[in-house]
Structure 1
């Protein structure tokens, strides 16, 4: 394990800042915790967008067999890869709609009578934004507080809060063979690695919310040299405490050279082609790894407890993904979600 693995991301960032400051290197933005709020503009999209598939058997299901892999320490953990959940056109539209949610492509907010200074500033920030609204991804430092820590997380992000689109994506996933049965209720020994033994001993039964996915969709954009270092995903909890997440969902929005089988330097290679950028599961001591390569329309779902993973460095091209959380409540609880981004725990692997 790295020597600073026991530190939180915030502690790492501040320690790194102090060390570099002693060397005369100034990085004022690194250790500033900032209060953040995210606003999504209404986005017009077709009523048929992401309708259920007419032939669900087209979705290919591959549950990861950790037991018989180099990561056998995760033998009781859950992860599954679903291919062909969305089409190429749907993925391209999702990227465009996400950009529109922050004012790109002419989807500018309309001035309102009696706007305050802060409302005017907010509207201007959402009017023809630079780089179609993509901004550096921050790391959670507590509810509504974030920090820039590019040594650890280096990518751009758009946050789009849109419950109906999230629900439609989840309905697609539920069409895949076995997914509705597995994710519907978390009860029994099979789910102890997911929710923890104490919850099971208390007799708690978790049920997936009607919407399924957290409405907070985080669209991520990685260019050459960008990455997300090893971490375990923290749980996303609603402000009222009625719902929380137990699984992460990644939706890959473009293809990589790895899945296309295009060798570097071959006649079909190009600087624009995504190379690298896998989602990588790591053994606790970082001795072994398993790569899930980006493929357009592919969905990766994995439990948030225990599974140490990273976003591998992009070597060329651009990687686009969407990340969200699968939300659960107690058997009689209705869905109600808050506004925070999920917490990320560096190397916090509960064995």
Structure 2
């Protein structure tokens, strides 16, 4: 088995004491959404290789599978691996992907179910996967606070939350991390969400830092995807948009060649250079790709090179929305109801 090319430094995520590897591993594609579920034995080997290489921050969710990704990770954590890992999972999206829940009973039941599937005593970082706009965020965080006090979770996170929701949540209990999509071609979070996190001392976890694989393969990625890969339906991956977006990949690839690295390493290095409070979590199902992603940690970019990279993927250059517009995708929500409106238990 090939060794990882570089050592992985550690970083403090947020200001409550959580320490993780400076690059994590997104585990979704091992079990869900990116084509068929991958062979369990291969994925266990990949996960254990990642941990041995120093990638100890693993990211999953109860909706991946659903449930099967947590079970997979639970198996990989056996044999003494658990003590080396900082494990993040999420709740809030119904298994059929049609609803978002943040009421206290759901929060508690979801947490306890994830603990059972993972085979652990406590979840290191527990995110609300999407914000339930029917339930005041104070109510959801209030239940998560109880779970912290009971030792079932250690730190609280939010995923795809607006700046106002982050502030309201943080006022109830310190939020350790906010997970959001951030890459060279998805940068709207820089306007108010990133500054809010930094003001409050909240760590930033960047998912899809390689543009869901775009910065690894460019336009040819689409032709290689199986029919049941959800990326085939994303606006940016549609033929007309991809034809124009391919120019972005071409420019990044040319710069990567000058730097002596791959296009994916360059795009990932750009995320790493956003600050010491940012942890990208690229996903992969191949050990070779994981090792290549780790190589991004040794790619150094000057301020001028950062500006050059960003000029390749301006808002005018990137064609197509990052997501499908559906009822579920109230991504980066507007506002949850005020606490005074809550009539639940």
TM range (shorter): under 0.3
Q: Relative to total residues, which structure has the larger strand share, 1 or 2?
A: 1
TM-score (norm 2): 0.25
Structure ID, larger Rg: 1
Q: Relative to total residues, which structure has the larger helix share, 1 or 2?
A: 2
TM-score (norm 1): 0.25
